[in-house]
């Protein structure tokens, strides 16, 4: 079955700097890769996603890259702000229904 | 903006008791899901539901678990006889249609089994 590995588990950056979180997946048939942000006491909120027919997608300060050959995808946050502090999860869609999540990255933005 | 809602936000129960967690998915969505997250761990898929039947379930979703869409708006997860290890956050999610459509998550129900 699909396995998603996410690194690092914790990440601390200075406000204004960039943050990068990386994930690898095992099932080459996976074709959809969302990123979710989870704030304390809340459910995961989608922040960006990418489908396997593109290599990069950008939405303001957030971008995701996908390397299908290497089976890895990354989240890039530029010009980080204190409100970016949260836990971030990558996921891969296995089949048509099941999202398989990574272990999560606790991102802390230091003012 | 439409959102998935879940009740209750926190449920405390005694081991062996039955619990029902409730969800109201986004109104025009067709696919419904339950995931769980044990404290400090990753989010894990439990079950998907479409056209009034289970379309996929994980090995976690054993005979103690069941799902139901009793009317046009609610989607429920029942745990028949709770165990200590069922303590977790349970998230409901829904999506509109295609395989790669976004799954939108609710705020979760924290289940504590004593």
Q: What is the pLDDT of residues A47-75, one digit of tens each?
A: 999 998 889 999 999 999 999 999 999 99
Distance CA A92, CA A34 (A): 7
Length of chain A measured in residues = 111
Q: Which helix (DSSP H) or strand (DSSP E) does residue B82 occupy?
A: none
Q: Is B27 on the interface with A (CB under 8 A)?
A: no
Instruction: Please tell me what DSSP assigns to residue B103.
Output: P
Extract the tokens encoding B102: 């976004």
Q: Is B107 on the interface with A (CB under 8 A)?
A: yes
Give the mean pLDDT of chain B. 94
Classify B84 as helix, strand or coil: helix
What is residue A80's predicted lDDT score, i.e. its pLDDT? 98
In a 13 Å sphere around the CA of A9, the CA atoms on its Cβ side amount to 4
What is residue B109's predicted lDDT score, i.e. its pLDDT? 97
Q: Which residues contact B33 (CB under 8 A, 6 or more apart)?
A: A97, B45, B46, B47, B48, B49, B92, B93, B94, B95, B103
What is residue A110's predicted lDDT score, i.e. its pLDDT? 95
CB contact under 8 A, B108 and A97: no
pLDDT in tens, chain A (111 residues): 789 999 999 999 999 999 999 999 999 989 999 999 999 888 899 999 999 888 999 999 999 999 999 999 999 999 999 999 999 999 999 888 899 999 999 999 999
| Min distance B102 CA to chain A CA atoms (Å) | 8
Using a CB-CB cut-off of 8 Å, the residues of chain A touching B31 are 97
Q: What is the pLDDT of residues B39-79, one digit of tens each?
A: 888 899 999 999 999 999 999 999 999 999 988 789 999 99
Q: Is A111 on the interface with B (CB under 8 A)?
A: no
CB contact under 8 A, A45 and B105: yes
Using a CB-CB cut-off of 8 Å, the residues of chain A touching B43 are 44, 89, 91, 99, 101
């Amino acid at each position: 079955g699909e396995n998603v590995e996410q690194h690092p588990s914790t990440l601390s950056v200075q406000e204004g700097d960039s943050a990068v979180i990386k994930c690898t997946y095992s099932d080459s048939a996976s074709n959809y890769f969302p990123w979710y942000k989870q704030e304390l006491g809340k459910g995961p909120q989608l922040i960006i996603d990418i489908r396997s027919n593109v290599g990069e997608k950008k939405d303001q300060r957030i971008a995701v890259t996908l390397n299908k050959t290497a089976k890895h995808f990354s989240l890039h946050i530029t010009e980080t702000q204190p409100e970016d502090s949260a836990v971030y999860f990558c996921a891969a869609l296995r089949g048509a229904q099941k999202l398989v999540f990574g272990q999560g990255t606790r991102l802390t933005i230091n003012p | 903006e439409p959102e998935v809602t879940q009740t209750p936000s926190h449920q405390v129960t005694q081991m062996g008791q039955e619990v029902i967690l409730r969800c109201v998915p986004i109104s025009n969505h067709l696919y419904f899901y339950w995931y769980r997250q044990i404290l400090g761990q990753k989010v894990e898929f439990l079950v998907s539901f479409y056209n009034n039947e289970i379309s996929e379930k994980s090995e976690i979703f054993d005979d103690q678990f069941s799902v139901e869409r009793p009317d046009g708006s609610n989607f429920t997860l029942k745990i028949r006889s709770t165990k200590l290890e069922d303590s977790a956050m349970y998230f409901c999610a829904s999506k509109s249609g295609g395989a790669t459509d976004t799954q939108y998550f609710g705020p979760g129900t924290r289940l504590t089994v004593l």
